[in-house]
Amino acid sequence: MLPLLSMTLHGTRQPKNLQHLYGGWPVRMHVTSQHLYHQSSDTIRQGASVIYCLDPWPNLIAHTQIQKPMLLSVSHLKEPLEKYLSGFRKVRLIRATKREGLVRARLLGASITTGDVLTFLDCHCECHEGWLEPLLHRIKEEPTAVVCPVIDVIDWDTFQYLGNPGEPQIGGFDWRLVFTWHSVPDNEQKRRHSPTDVIRSPTMAGGLFSVNKNYFYYLGSYDTGMEVWGGENLEFSFRIWQCGGSLEIHPCSHVGHVFPKKAPYSRSKALANSVRAAEVWMDDYKEIYYHRNPHARLEAFGDVSERLKLREKLGCKNFQWFLDNVYPEIHVPHDRPGMFGMLKNRGKVNYCFDYNPADENTIVGQRVILYPCHGMGQNQFFEYSVDGEICYNTREPAGCIVGDSVNTYLTMQLCKKRGQPVPMEQKFVFRKDGSLYHALSQKCVQAMDRTDNGTPAPALQPCSDSVYQQWFFEERM
C-alpha cells in the first residue's frame, strides 16, 4: 500500500498553467488537516497525503488532528499512527480531548501555528506538483485574497485520480443555503486577461483554501458557535466578500479530493449552522431561505450577538451588495404575499404541486406531480413570479414550469435569464377565480387522478368552472 501513498500526480492542469513560473520568497506556511474515522489503510493514506503535499517545501509544517473519542475503539489511531508520523519532521499530530467537529478542530490547529499563511486541507486529498506556489504567490500579491485550488475528483471506491481537465467551475449557493457548482459567467471571463488569472467565486466548497494568517483572524476566523460542519463554508464566503476581501480559485493549483458518498458521522447541527449564517449576513434576504425551509425558523441556533458586532466593527457591506456585485447570476425570488409556498388544489384536497428530480444536479426535464402536502418547503415550494412564471426556485439554477399545445402534462425547464422575455410556454395567468391559464395552449391547469403513469399530476385541460381547476398558495401548514 505504501508505494501508492507517495505517487506523484501529473497531467490535469492546462498547458498555460504549466508554463507560468512563480518566484520564491521566505515564508512559513502551516497546513491543517482533520482526520475522522476511516479504514486503517485509508487513515494512513490520508496522513501520508499531507506529508507528500509538503515534501518539496522546507518551511512548511503540517498539523494533523485526531478526535480523541475515536481512540477508544480504533486502535490504529493510537501507537501505529504515532510511530508512522514520527519519522516526518514537518508533521505534528495533535489530539483533541473530545470530538470538536471541523470548525473547532481547524481552529485548534491554527492556534498553535507560527507561519504567515494558513492552508486548510480536508484529510482525503492528494496534491499535484506545483499546487502550492500559485496560492502563495496570489496571497503575497493580495493579502486580502482567500484562494482555493481547483478541486480534482478522486474516485471514492478505487482512488483513481479522475482529475478536472476542463474549465474550472466556481461556487454558488441555492436558497436552501446549499453549496452549488457553476460554470464561470461571461462577465468574469471578460474580466480575466489570461487563462492563468484567478477566477472570482461567490462561495467556496470549504475544504481546501489558503489565507493570510493575520487576515484570517482579522475577519474573525471561524464562527465557533457552529457545530461539526455544514454551513461554515457559506458563512465564511459571505463574510470574506461583504467585509472587503475576495474569494478566488487559482486555475494553476490543483488538489485531488475524495468526495465521500456519505458523511461518516451525524450532521444534525448543519441546519443550525445555516441559520446562523442567514441571521448574521443575509439581512432581509434570510426570509427567502426561511420560506423554503420553514422548519429552520424553529431551529435553536445560539447567540449570534458577537458575530453581529464583528460585522459592525469591520464595516461590512449588506447582502444586497453581495447579490448585485458578487453573485448577480443567482435568481432572486420576489416572494409576494399569497404568491408563494405550497400550490394546492381546492378539489383534490391536501395535494400539492411536487417536483423532486432524482438527480440533485439535474433540475430540468421531469414531470411535475401532485403529492400529499407535507409543509416542509423544498420540493413542494413554488412561486408565482411578477412575469407570470410558476417557479421552482428552491434550487439553483431556478426552474420554471412549462406547458405546450401538444403535451398534456407539465414539465420543468430552466427559467429565462435576467433581462430576457418569458417564453410563452412558461407563461401562466393566475386568474381571480383561482384558475391557472396557459396562454400558449389556451388551456387551464387541472388536478388529474388518472394519468398515464398512475401518479396524480397537474395537466392542461379545456378551461371550466371545476374545483379541480382552482388553485391557491399556502405558505405553511
| CATH code of 366's domain | 2.80.10.50
Distance CA 359, CA 297 (A): 27
42, part of any domain: yes
Q: How far is CA 295 from CA 213, 279, 344, 351, 377, in A?
A: 37, 15, 19, 20, 9
Question: Does residue 71 share a domain with residue 168?
Answer: yes
Considering the domain boundaries, does residue 230 fall inside one?
yes
Residue 329, in any domain of the structure? no
Quote the DSSP letter at residue 347.
Answer: S
Given 258, 276, 302, the domain boundary residue is: 258
pLDDT bracket for residue 18 (50, 70, 90): very low
362-388 pLDDT, tens digit each: 788 899 999 999 999 889 999 999 999
Among candidates 159, 475, 237, which has minimal Cα distance to 341? 475
Q: Of 404, 401, 240, which is closest to residue 310 (Cα–Cα)?
A: 240
Domain boundary at 201, 235, 258, which? 258
Per residue in 233-278, pLDDT tens? 999 999 999 999 999 999 999 999 888 777 655 667 899 999 999 9
> Would you say residue 294 lies in a domain?
no
Domain count, the chain: 2
Q: Do residues 239 and 361 share a domain?
A: no
Closest to 64 in 3D by CA, of 78, 38, 85, 42:
85
Q: Answer yes or no: do 368 and 244 share one domain.
A: no
Query: Rounded to whole angstroms, how far apart are CA atoms 268 and 274?
Result: 12
Check whether residue 396 and residue 248 sit in a common domain: no
Global pTM value: 0.88
Do 243 and 344 lie in a common domain?
no
The domain of 360 spans: 340-474
| Mean pLDDT of all residues in 293-320 | 97
Within this chain, do residues 179 and 47 fall inside the same structural domain, yes or no?
yes
91 and 194 co-located in one domain: yes
Asked if residue 347 and residue 251 are part of one domain, the reply reads no
Angstrom distances, CA of residue 58 to CA of 28, 30, 47, 111, 227: 9, 12, 18, 21, 34
Percent of the chain residues past pLDDT 70, beyond the cut: 82
Task: Say whether both 244 and 347 belong to one domain.
Answer: no
Q: Is the pLDDT of residue 10 over 60?
A: no
- In terms of pLDDT, which residue wins out, 189 or 60? 189
Report the SS3 class of residue 340: strand
Q: Does 370 lie in the same domain as 247?
A: no
For residue 440, what are the CA distances in angstroms to 77, 426, 437, 448?
Answer: 65, 9, 9, 20
Query: How many residues comprise the chain?
Result: 477
In a domain, 263, yes or no: no
- Pick the closest to residue 248 from 123, 361, 329, 142 (CA basis): 142
Does the residue 310 lie in any domain? no
Q: What is the mean pLDDT of residues 427-452?
A: 96
User: SS3 breakdown of the chain: % helix, strand, coil, rounded to 5?
Assistant: 30, 25, 45
Residue type, 297: R
Does a structural domain hold residue 408?
A: yes
Residues 107 and 237 in one domain: yes
Give me the CATH number covering residue 55: 3.90.550.10
The answer to whether position 318 is within a domain reads no
Is there a single domain that holds both residue 165 and residue 25?
yes
- Domain ends where: 258, 287, 318? 258
